[in-house]
Each structure stands twice: as C-alpha cells, then as structure tokens.
Amino acid sequence: MAIALTVQLPRVETFSVSDLDLARRCADGDPAAFESIYHAHAERMKSIAYHHLGNVADAEDAVQESFLKIHRAASTYTGEAAFSTWLYRILVNTCYDAMRRRRRRPQEAPIDDMITLTRAASNVDDAKRLMLARLLRELPEQRRTVFVLFEIEGFSHAEIAAIAGISEANSKWILFSTKKQLQEKWKHEH
Amino acid sequence: MNTENELDEISAVARTMHAGWSSDSLLPRIQRAIARQERPQPSWHAWQVAAAAAILIALATLGWYAQRRVQEHDFNRAILQRTALDDVERAERSHVAAIGQLETLAGPKLEQSQSPLMVSYKEKLMLLDDAIAECQAGIRMNRQNAHLRRQLLSIYSEKQRTLQDVLREEAHENR
C-alpha cells in the first residue's frame, strides 16, 4: 500500500452540533452522526496510529477498534472533555494496548511499511523522514505520543494534556526532552 | 549544524510526516463490525438459557434423589428399629415367662417359711417387682428407651437370681 506523506496539517474539526448531541446520536446508532465523526477524524487517527504502530494494517485495525469503542461508549460520554479529545484518547490507549500485545508476542510483529514509504517518497527529504520515523519507534510510548501529536499532527499542548492525561506543563517538558533525545541521535545518524 | 538548527530541522521534518493513505474499505469495515456488535446474539443467548435449564434440571433431579434416599433410609431405619424392638420384647416375654415359672415354684415356700432369710428374700422380691412395674410404665411411654430396657433386664436377672437363691435355700433346709 502506498502511503502519501503530506505537509498539510488537519486541525481538529469544529462541529455545528454540540459534542453531547453528537455522542448521543452516535450512541443511538445514527449512521449520519457516525459518518460525520469518521470523516472528520479518521485521517488524523490513521496517521497517529501509524506513527505508534509502524504499519498500515495495524494502524487501520487500531482505528477500527477505536471506533467500535467509541460507538459502545458514546452513551457514557459526559461532555467534560471535548468529544475529539475523548476520541483521540481512546485511540492512543488502543495503540498502547496493541503495542503491549505486540511486546508480549514479538514474533507476531508485522512487516514494517517503511519499504512502501521509501518507494512512495521521491524527494531529498525522504531520507530524513525515514530516519526520524525510525528514531520515533525507539522512543517510550508517552514521549512518542507527545511528539507525534505536537510535531506531526499539530495538536496544542492543552489538547495533548487532555488526550494523554497529563498537565500542559508536563506535555511541554516531555516534548522538549524528547526533542533533545532525538537531536543526540540525529547528530550521530548524520 | 548547531543545536537550534538541529531541533528546528527535526520539527520541520516531523511536520511533513503526517501519514495519509486511501482506505475506502475502512469505513464499511467499521460499519460492519458495529452492526455485528449491535446484533443480538441468539445463539449465545440460547446457550445461556439451555445451560440454565440444564443446571436447574440437574439440581432438581439431585434434590429429588437425595430426598428419596433420605426417605428410604428413614423407612429402613424404622423397619429395623421395629424389628429390633419386637425381638427385644419377645426375649423379655420369654424371660418373664421363665421367671414366672420360678416364682410359681418359689412362691409357696416364701409364704410358708418364717425364717429371717426368707422374709428378707420376700422383701427384696417385692422391691424388685415395684422396680419392674416402674420400668414397664416408663417403657410404655417410650418403647425405644434402651436405657430403661437395660435396667428392666438387669432387674429381671436380679429377680431370677433371687428366686433361684430361694429355691436353693429351700433345698438346703430340706436336706
């Protein structure tokens, strides 16, 4: 499968309907509500899952599992956090579960899609992207999440704090120290 | 390249790494999975009902069997008790009949003789008869009172020995 690396950063969609109403309609099995959630968030969810799990098949599985959880739990959504935050939190936790499952059964780790990525890429930055993607996979899960959400997906620290269940200041600190860590390796790789 | 530049470069590269790919089948796949999730699972439900019914039937059968065993056991016990009591009473009756024969033999001697020994035997026998009557009254109230039956048996034995002593004493006097 060819993966296109795009420069555009999608922002979190703002719905015309309230989050609670959307969650209620989703829980009631309204297909239009569900599809609107999917179309608003699936692309970004796939990218986040991909950067956590490293291949398209696992990323799609994680997105599917997240949507099933969202559908199951939509009736319990209280509106305390933004619906999108709640949704991405479910996705990140689903990715962590998949990563832990994979660690328990390392022989089942799927073939990386980086080969496909290499073929899809065609300009001089591809090598750097591949190197950074490889370095990201060596990071602990929380550091990887903060880096992916902020630097790749363009979330704010406030959003990341809500998704990862940490404080905003902690999110900033984790990002800073992660970048320093990456920089060390980046220097050696160059 | 200095530190700031390297950090900026990492951020710049990261900003181009949003992964996007076409996956037309993902939404239908999710919708199918949700439909499966929502669909009631009759087979599982049926299994649950069947399992519950099987457990109920098994418990009821077990209860009925246990109750029947208890009833049978009680019945057998009652039969055995009744048989045992009948045996005991039959033995008592033959014992009493034998003692009655001894009494018939010893009675006239006890009435006729005025010796202090015979008088004391007579008093002892009267005491034993009172004790026998008391025991029998108790047994009539509870046929299964084994303690009273053992007591009655020992009194009968004592009476038998006393009557035998009376007869032996009489034979001794006649010699």
Angle between helices A126-137 and A168-189 in degrees, nearest 10:
120
Residues B154 and B149: their CA atoms lie apart, in Å, by: 9
- Statement: A122-190 belongs to CATH 1.10.530.10: no
Which pLDDT belongs to residue A7?
40
Of the listed ranges A112-116, A165-169, B160-164, the least confidently predicted one is A112-116
Architecture of the domain made up of A12-111: Orthogonal Bundle (1.10)
How many Å from the N-terminal Cα to the C-terminal Cα in chain B? Answer: 150
**A107: pLDDT confidence band, cut at 50, 70 and 90?**
low
CB contact under 8 A, A64 and B31: no
Partnered with residue B128 across adjacent β-strands are none
Nearest residue of A to residue B1, measured between CA atoms: A187
Substitution target in B8, B10, B38 with the highest count of A β-carbons within 10 Å is: B10
Nearest residue of B to residue A128, measured between CA atoms: B13
Nearest residue of A to residue B30, measured between CA atoms: A64
Cβ–Cβ < 8 Å for A88, A45: yes
Chain A residues with CB under 8 Å of B20 CB are 3-6, 43, 46-47
Residues in contact with B139: Cβ distance below 8 Å, sequence separation at least 6, in sequence order: B145, B148, B149, B152
CB contact under 8 A, A152 and B17: yes
| Annotated domain spans of chain A | 12-111, 122-190
Angle at B70 (CA atoms; ends B69, B76), nearest 5 degrees: 85
ipTM of the complex: 0.78
Of A56, A68, A152, the CB nearest to B21: A56
Cβ–Cβ < 8 Å for A60, A50: no
SS3 B18: strand
pLDDT per residue as tens digits for the range A138-160: 999 999 999 999 999 999 999 99
Model-wide pTM > 0.80: no
Inter-chain Cβ pairs, chain A and chain B, closer than 8 A: 103
Of the listed ranges A46-60, B48-62, B105-119, the least confidently predicted one is B105-119
Looking at the complex, report in whole angstroms how far the Cα of residue A128 sits from the nearest Cα belonging to chain B: 7
Tokens of A167: 């404080």
Substitution target in A1, A9, A11, A46 with the highest count of B β-carbons within 10 Å is: A46
Kind plus residue range of the DSSP H or E element containing B19: strand B18-20
Of A1, A35, A187, the CB nearest to B21: A1
Cβ–Cβ < 8 Å for A26, A70: yes
Provide mean pLDDT across the span A111-135: 65
Ordered alpha helix ranges (H), B39-142: 42-112, 116-141
Residues B130 and B4: their CA atoms lie apart, in Å, by: 124
